[in-house]
Amino acid sequence: MHRDNHSPIGATLTSRLPSGLLACARSDIASTHANSSLPQSTLVQLTPSGKGGGGGLQALLLPNPTPAGGSCRPASCCQHPAHGLPCAMAELPPAHGPASRAAALATACISHRHGSPGHGWVLRDVRRAHREDIDGIGHKYHLEFVLEDIFEKDSTVNCTAEVLYHLGNKKNAPDVQFTIEGELKNTDEADNAFYDRIKSLKKELEAENIPDSYGHVSPEMQPIRALAWAASGYVIWQNSTENTKYQLAQIKHVKQVKRTDEYLEFDYMILLHESVSQEIIPWQMTVLWHPQHGIEITQNSRQPKHTLH
Amino acid sequence: MALPPTRDQVLRAVASNEEQIALLRELGEQVDLQVDFWRDPTKPGRPADLRVPFSRLQAVKVFLESHGISYSVMIEDVQHLLDEEKRTMMLSRRMERSANKFNFASYHTLEEIYDWMDTLVADHPNLVSKIQIGESYEKRPLYVLKFSTGGSNRPAVWLDTGIHSREWVTQATGVWTANKLAEDYGHDPTVTSLLDTMDIFFEIVTNPDGFAFTHSSNRLWRKTRSINAGSSCIGVDPNRNWDAGFGDAGSSSNPCSETYHGPYAHSESEVKSIVDFIQSHGNVKGLVSIHSYSQMLMFPYGYKRTPAPDHEELNELAKKAVNDLAAVYGTEYTYGSIADTIYLAAGTTVDWAYENGVKYSYTFELRDTGRYGFLLPSSQIIPTATETWPALLDILVHIQQHPY
């Protein structure tokens, strides 16, 4: 089985794990950390040091919600009346700018981790949001939000996430940890059906403009779109900052790449819409997928704007 | 086979005061006179049309003359007219000329929308007219539908859709809404009352050059199509080109940017035409500029974080409108000032309007929240327009009830 020499981020985590403890991180090392001050199902992410890659691991400390811990701002040290968290934590209007951007990023991360040709989510609603300014590290958003199944509008799932945007160094993707309430729908059947269909094609699949100008996606292209949705979650996560909000706008072009092994490979040219700048950004991504092994983005790159006639 | 003409007549009577209105109503109630109102007496200065049987003509005319109610003979021979009407109806049966037969559930080209505007006017000649307020960069006419039941420079509300051409659900919602206004007048008490007291000016394709380009070349084109001196990039963001915080943070000075504010405020004819129109009108009391997507209802300011002086009132009204919108299909909107709700945006339509005497300035961001974004399936056009309608009415009614 041939695998690209790119170390896939989190590939091992996309196999059929029960909903719950996952993260988008620069390393695929993760462990649960028993900490009585944290909610039961929270994962503490161990991240490599900020300077890019190697070297020691540095534990990322989450704020201790009890009065004894956390950091205080020099000017005033207070208890937030509503939730007892340290005052460096500010409650945000959940639906507005910064919170919605953080939630969109968390959604992208969840899509990347759990999405497949048969399954995807879009952010429906942000219920609560807090922002914590961690001196010397960055801004961390604590979110409660609701996702909607892209195939079944009335099917929703509640999530929480912590999104950490690192200070300064723009090269570091944000850290995202999330939890999903309850069991996720099993989409093995839909995934396998898609897999079998593509494997049995005489000619490599090729298509463009999904959805088309009128918003239509043919039934045959739904899984192609869902796969792009999941894969773009990775691209979005890698390129997000506190001041960006990316959405997959359209698949301009997709072409299946012939492989000798069991993986399916698609070369996508997608358009991302960034809501703050309003830019439409063409992006190329090469996506590997297998029903049991999940999604891997082996290559991706931003394209120049004039690619759009 | 034609019947001998009965020579029933239709008289057009114009009452000059409330007393005469009452008299006309009394006339209608006198059963023996057999007066049939084709258009009811409503307000002084507005015509009332009465069909009067030949045998009662004398009596009715005497009544009108003795009370000093001016009238004219509008139709001398009703039967002849009815025959004519039947004939032309049969001829045109194959042609779907009626404005409400338009397929509102699909997206249309610029030409189709412009043609439809003409049928709307033809179907509702006493309510809707089409005016041209200017030309686009590429010399396309900028058309505005005027909804008015008369009066002289009544307080008015400005509505626009499609200022960003890729936001297709907005032009489509504009067509549906214009049709709804025309259809509901005379039938729905709220709409009737609104249009009896205020005028509505509705620009459905506010950026026709951009719109044509989304059909011919690039579905995701946002800006105008004006050429930028010294740059190969085309277009100015028409919602950053207004003279309110022009050039500030939240707009770009780069012609290649989607939020390029342009060389100077009102540089775009699409924007200048509206500015000139609203300023020369002098009595515009509300403005609603409709965009997509995000599901939001917002008001000034966008160019600064300072709350607008009317923030509380605007916020309360937005809250009500958003609740009434959600009541239709459960679609959730957020609301607030532009700066609070999304980000700083300088040089926007609503900020300019607000700072130029239009207190009730709102901007909608219609469906959805990103699943389809700009490429909203056409099956969602009518649901979107339908749910937006009560929110729009809330704003219009509030404006009507809070004159200033």
B20 to chain A, closest Cα gap in Å = 55
How far apart, in whole angstroms, are the C-alpha atoms of residue A127 and residue A107?
14
B294 touching chain A per CB within 8 A: yes
* A45 and A35 Cβ atoms separated by less than 8 Å: no
- Which of A133-142, B51-60, B71-80, B248-257 has the largest mean confidence? B248-257
pLDDT tens-place string over residues A135-189: 889 999 999 999 999 888 889 999 999 999 998 866 789 999 999 998 788 889 9
| pLDDT at A43 > cutoff 60 | no
How far apart, in whole angstroms, are the C-alpha atoms of residue B82 and residue B87?
9
pTM over 0.95: no
Which residue of A280, A283, A308 is the best one to mutate when testing the B interface, meaning the one whose CB has the most B CBs within 10 A?
A280
Residue A243, C-beta contacts closer than 8 angstroms, at least 6 positions apart: A101, A276
Contact yes or no for A95 and B372 at CB 8 A: no
Contact yes or no for A279 and B374 at CB 8 A: no
pLDDT tens-place string over residues B113-148: 999 999 999 999 999 999 999 999 999 999 999 999
- Name the interface residues of A facing B (CB cutoff 8 Å): 93, 95-97, 104, 122-125, 148, 150, 211-216, 247, 249-250, 271, 273, 275-280, 305, 308-309
pLDDT tens-place string over residues B26-35: 888 787 788 8
In a domain, A147, yes or no: no
The residues pairing with A248 across neighbouring beta strands, listed in sequence order, are A272
* Residue A228 half-sphere exposure toward CB, CA atoms < 13 A: 31
* A89 and A135 Cβ atoms separated by less than 8 Å: no
In a domain, A300, yes or no: yes
How far apart, in whole angstroms, are the C-alpha atoms of residue A48 and residue A55?
7
First to last CA, chain B: 59
* A187 and A116 Cβ atoms separated by less than 8 Å: yes
Pairing relationship of beta strands A206-210 and A175-180 according to DSSP bridges: unpaired
B218 to chain A, closest Cα gap in Å = 7
pLDDT of residue B88: 54
Q: 3-state class of B123 per DSSP?
A: helix
DSSP notation for B209-278: HHHHHHHHT-TT--S--PBPTT-S-B---TTS-SSSSTTSTTSBS-TTSTTB--SSTT-SHHHHHHHHHH
Q: B254 to chain A: nearest residue by CA? A: A277
B365 carries an active-site annotation: yes
The dihedral formed by the CA atoms of A98, A100, A105 and A110, expressed in degrees to the nearest 10: 150
pLDDT tens-place string over residues A221-278: 999 999 999 999 999 999 999 999 999 999 999 999 999 999 999 999 999 999 999 9
The yes/no answer to whether this complex scores an ipTM above 0.85 is no
Q: Which phi and psi (to 5°) does residue A300 adopt?
A: -155, 145
Can you give the CATH number for the domain in which A249 is found?
Answer: 3.10.450.10
The residues pairing with A287 across neighbouring beta strands, listed in sequence order, are A266, A297
Q: Which one has a higher pLDDT value, B83 or A72?
A: B83
- Count of beta carbons in the 10 Å neighbourhood of residue B249: 12
Each residue of B155-188: b (16+ CB within 10 Å) or e? bbbbbbbbbbbbbbbbbbbbbbbbbbbbbbbbee
How far apart, in whole angstroms, are the C-alpha atoms of residue B14 and residue B18?
11
Contact yes or no for B375 and A211 at CB 8 A: yes
The amino acid present at B18, given as its one-letter code, is E
Mean pLDDT score across all residues of chain A:
77
Radius of gyration of chain A (CA): 20
- Count of beta carbons in the 10 Å neighbourhood of residue B117: 21
pLDDT tens-place string over residues A189-221: 999 999 999 999 999 999 999 999 999 999 999
In a domain, A108, yes or no: no
pLDDT-based confidence at B25, cuts 50/70/90? confident
B334 touching chain A per CB within 8 A: yes
In a domain, A63, yes or no: no
pLDDT-based confidence at B72, cuts 50/70/90? confident
Structure tokens given for A12: 């091992």
DSSP notation for B8-41: -EEEEEE-SSHHHHHHHHHHHH-GGG--EEEE--
In a domain, A285, yes or no: yes
Contact yes or no for A214 and B259 at CB 8 A: no
What chain B holds in terms of domains, given with CATH numbers, is 9-76 (3.30.70.340), 95-225+235-401 (3.40.630.10)
Q: Which one has a higher pLDDT value, A48 or B279?
A: B279
How far apart, in whole angstroms, are the C-alpha atoms of residue A111 and residue B224?
35
Pairing relationship of beta strands B199-203 and B334-337 according to DSSP bridges: unpaired
In a domain, A52, yes or no: no
In B141-207, which ranges are continuous DSSP H helix? 168-184, 189-197
CB pairs < 8 Å spanning A and B: 82
Which single residue is written with the structure tokens 């084109």?
B221
In a domain, A195, yes or no: yes
How far apart, in whole angstroms, are the C-alpha atoms of residue B213 and residue B54?
59
For residue A215, what are the domain limits?
188-308
How far apart, in whole angstroms, are the C-alpha atoms of residue B387 and residue A18?
38
In a domain, A278, yes or no: yes
Structural domains counted in chain A: 1
Cα of A171 vs its chain's centroid, Å: 17
CA angle B126, B360, B301 (to 5 degrees): 140
pLDDT of residue B91: 46
